[in-house]
Amino acid sequence: MKTWFADLWSGFYTVLVGMDITWRHLFTPKVVLQYPEQKWTLPPKSRMRLHLKYEDCIGCGQCARACPVNCISIKADKRAAGSAPIYAANGQAIKLDVKVFDIDMSLCCYCNLCTYPCPTDCIYMTPEYEFASTDIRDHLYRFAKPDAVFLTVNPKPPAPAPAPAAAAAAAAPKPTEGGAA
Amino acid sequence: MDALLRLFSLIPGWDQNVPAWASISLAGLLAAGLCLGFISLGPVGYVYVERKLAGFMQDRLGPMRVGPWGLLQTIADTIKLLFKEAIFPAAVNRPLFVVAPCLVVIGAFMGFAVLPFSPTWQGTDLDVGAFYVIAIGSLSTVGLIMAGWASNNKYALFGAMRSAAQIVSYEIPAVMSLIVVVMIAGSLSLQQIVAAQAGGLHNWFLWKFFPLNVIAFLVFFTATLAECNRTPFDIPEAESELVAGFHTEYSGFFFAMFFLAEYTEMFVASAMVSVLFLGGFAAPLPVLQTVAGFDIGPVWLIAKAWALVFVHMWLRWTLPRLRVDQLMHVAWKVLLPIALFLIVVIGGLLTAPATAGGFPWDPWFGWPLTALLCGYLMLTALRAWRWHARQVREAVA
């Protein structure tokens, strides 16, 4: 008999406690984001769709080697002998003619490992995340542009004093960095 | 209907040319159509409110897409349901399969016949009004069993059997606590039950024999909740166990009818609770009974019924579903003994001359307790709002 009353009271009381909780939640401001109209402000360095600044790519292929899922495919040939020198934005000479630079975003695992070895910082992740499509082939992004306009003047000319040494110094970090990667 | 007949007489030549039986039938048809329309449109509103409440209680927004604040969502859903194909599975018992939802809807709608919206505005003032509502309420059980049986689906049959067990069980505490009210009012007529509670909030049967009738109210409310198959008593359709219970095989219009019946039944049950315990169409203050000479009794009854429907929804999003054995335990071992105890005690008190009109302290509890409850709810709502605002401020800082 005693437990009957105790159970009755605890049942009744806990229902009231639950109703109190739901009542309070009825009035708390809501946490919903009305997605297509409202969007999250993404944190800086958020890892979304990859982008390549084709004009800066020297075709070294370190990003493709770093990629754990092989979603980057690059084809690059040596530039024709005697063609005018072109440069990446950080002053590195572009010695290869990058014919194909494809990133298959349907394979990409957004690990960001490709952007670290890039010597010219031309591959990077953008905050763009709304690129769902009904065709998986739309996720293959082709970055090679046949009509790209390259820098023909070195934007960061090497120190003028010992010209060959500076060129060697500019070339030197590349193999070590590649070796580290 | 009388108003319609008077309206007909205004048409020149109507009384001379149209026989009385024809104009009465026409007025009846029109009145019935109007009522039916209004009653069937109700659930559109309830479903919207329910979905919004569900969203708000879970810190969501609920439907927001169709129309401003999602207001047209249920209308869109209704249209979708009405135009969807009603699928008849190959092995169903077709006649029963069709009759079942109709029966459920009829059971829900017939309750409206005796609901007193005002002293004059009532389908009919049956002498056994309270009994009629209880009896008609059980009609839907037949429909549910039919639906479950005709579906030829084990889950549907499970749901149907559960609903039969549940409604039969909960009918008993409901009737027992109803008897308490009937004993106090001395009549089964809903009109007289309301008349006995006139004169303000402190006269409502909820506050008669002070703590006792509150318990009767809770018992009756719980029982009606169970009879409407609402959470926490929704085991007939327990979606996590039985797919959708008795309406598993139903689609399109027939499914919509079950939905309509459920929400209509909710309103009828809540209106019954408010008639029996919360004064029906009587205003909480006699001053508020008329506005500019018009009796606004219907507004009060509907407001009270909606408040109770809100509590139904509130409970739905608060409590998990009971197990079948727990359900039976609550009905037979908890509600029924309490209801029997109340019958005996209140019956005894009514026979004693000193307490025949209630305890002497009855009028002193109604207002303070109502004020306390409303105050508490408003305060917690305000605090919840401000607490959240502080969280946001701290997160920003």
- Give the whole-angstrom CA distance, residue B300 versus residue A180: 80
Distance CA B155, CA B144 (A): 13
Helix (H) or strand (E) holding A75: strand A72-78
Asked if the Cβ–Cβ distance from A26 to B60 is below 8 Å, we say no
Which pLDDT score is estimated for A168? 55
SS3 A181: coil
B79/chain A closest Cα distance in angstroms: 25
Q: Taking Cα atoms as reference points, which of A50, A42, A180 lies closest to residue A115?
A: A50
Q: Are A54 and A101 in contact (CB under 8 A)?
A: yes
CB-based contact A23 B59, cutoff 8 Å: no
pLDDT(A147) > 60: yes
pLDDT of residue B168: 84
B residues 303-342 lying closer than 8 A (beta carbon) to A: 314-315, 317-319, 333-334
Q: Indicate the residue type of B119.
A: P
B60 close to A (CB below 8 A): yes
Distance from the Cα of A26 to chain B's closest Cα (Å) equals 4
A chain contacts of residue B389, beta-carbon cutoff 8 Å: 29
Partners of residue A12 in chain B, C-beta under 8 Å: 218
Interchain pair A15, B318: CB under 8 A? yes
Hey, which residues does B173 pair with through a beta bridge?
A: none
Q: What is the chain A residue with the closest CA to B386? A: A28
- Closest residue in B to A4 (Cα) is B334
pLDDT of A180: 43
pLDDT tops 50 at residue A176 = no
Closest CA to B176 of B347, B376, B326: B347
Rounded CA gap, A46 and A58, in Å? 25
Tell which phi-psi region holds residue A21, choosing left (phi > 0), alpha (psi between -120 and 50) or beta. Answer: alpha
d(CA B21, CA A100): 90
List of chain A residues whose C-beta atoms are within 8 Å of the C-beta of residue B384: 23-28
B222-251: b or e for each residue (b if 16 or more CB lie within 10 Å)?
bbbbbbbbbbbbbbbbbeeebbbbbbbbbb
Please list the pLDDT of chain B residue by residue as tens digits (397 residues).
Answer: 666 667 777 777 776 777 777 777 887 788 778 777 777 777 788 888 888 888 888 878 878 788 788 788 888 888 888 888 777 888 788 888 888 888 888 888 888 888 888 777 777 777 888 888 888 888 888 888 888 888 888 888 888 888 888 888 888 888 888 888 888 888 888 888 888 887 777 778 877 777 888 888 889 998 888 888 877 887 777 667 777 777 777 877 888 888 888 888 888 888 888 888 888 787 777 777 777 777 777 888 888 888 888 888 888 888 888 888 888 888 888 889 999 998 898 888 888 877 777 777 777 777 888 888 888 888 888 888 887 777 777 777 6
Residues of A in contact with B57 (CB under 8 A): 22, 25-26
Distance CA A55, CA A51 (A): 12
B53 and A25 within 8 Å at the Cβ level: the answer is: no
SS3 A99: strand
Picking from B205, B215, B201, the residue whose alpha carbon sits closest to that of residue B184 is B205
pLDDT at position A8 over 80: yes
User: In chain B, which ranges are continuous DSSP H helix?
Assistant: 2-10, 14-17, 20-57, 73-83, 94-110, 129-137, 139-150, 154-185, 190-195, 210-227, 239-242, 252-277, 297-316, 324-328, 336-351, 366-396
CA distance B187 to chain A (A): 31
Q: What are phi and psi of A93, to 5 degrees?
A: -75, 135
Helices B73-83 and B252-277: angle between axes, nearest 10 degrees: 130
Interface residues from chain A to B (CB-CB < 8 Å): 4, 8, 11-12, 15, 18-32, 34
Signed CA dihedral, B323, B326, B328, B334: sign only = negative
Which residue in chain B has the smallest CA separation from A5? B334
Q: Do A29 and B377 touch (CB under 8 A)?
A: no
A6 interaction partners in chain B (CB closer than 8 Å):
none
The C-alpha atoms of residue B307 and residue B314 are separated, in whole angstroms, by: 10
Does A167 score more than 60 pLDDT? no
Question: How far away is chain A from the Cα of B300, in angstroms, using its nearest Cα?
Answer: 23
How much is the pTM?
0.76
Measure the N-to-C terminal CA separation of chain A; round to a whole number of Å. 76
B378 part of contact set with chain A, CB < 8 Å: no
Would the CB atoms of B385 and A20 count as touching at under 8 Å? no
Is B318 close to A31, i.e. CB distance below 8 A?
A: no
Instruction: Give mean pLDDT, residues A118-140.
Output: 87
- In this complex, which of B58, B319, B389 lies closest to A18 when CB atoms are compared? B319
CB atoms inside a 10 Å sphere around CB A39? 11
Angle (CA) B326 B182 B103, round 5°: 60
